[in-house]
Amino acid sequence: MRWIVIGIAASVALLLNGCARSDQPQTETPSETISKAKSATQDGVVQVVDLAADDLVQRLDQSPTGSLVSSQDGKQWAGHATVMLRRGADAAAVVDCIEDSISDTDWSASRDKTGQGRSRLTLRSNSGLSLLIRPKGGASINIASFSDCFALPSDFVPARSY
């Protein structure tokens, strides 16, 4: 009897902690779901980089592909971008500028340190996107990007990259 109760409790916990969309009928293909997550995430990176002063940013290089990673609530599309700065721009100061500029946006910010002790800015959007932003030397900024959580059919076999 005790194992039945534990099993029911675990099932209820898993159902309640699932992705927001997991209880909805699947109306799009897994490829469409992944493509939408990728597009929203890359658009979020552009939105945040646009907060930096134009005279400091030379270009934004987003990797054309990313991968699916498991999250507590399903899957996320994960990508990477590098912000190349103009000569004389200080990467740490540009990251600070981005943090100062998000107060009037749909993003919230927190600071922590990487495993190597480097400062990192974490941004989370109201729509569930996450960006991990850190200076990379003096001339560039690394951005690891993660989509909102989404559910895929249990029998879906993901590709290596998207």
pLDDT of residue 132: 98
Of 54, 86, 76, 75, the closest CA to residue 132 belongs to: 76
- Residue 45: is its pLDDT beyond 90? yes
Q: Calculate mean pLDDT across residues 49-53.
A: 93
Q: Calculate mean pLDDT across residues 55-69.
A: 96
pLDDT of residue 48: 96
All structural domains of the chain? 2-146 (3.30.2030)
pLDDT of residue 28: 93
Question: pTM of the prediction?
Answer: 0.82
Question: What is the tens place of the pLDDT at every residue in 3-19?
Answer: 232 232 222 232 233 34
Of 61, 126, 60, 120, the closest CA to residue 92 belongs to: 120
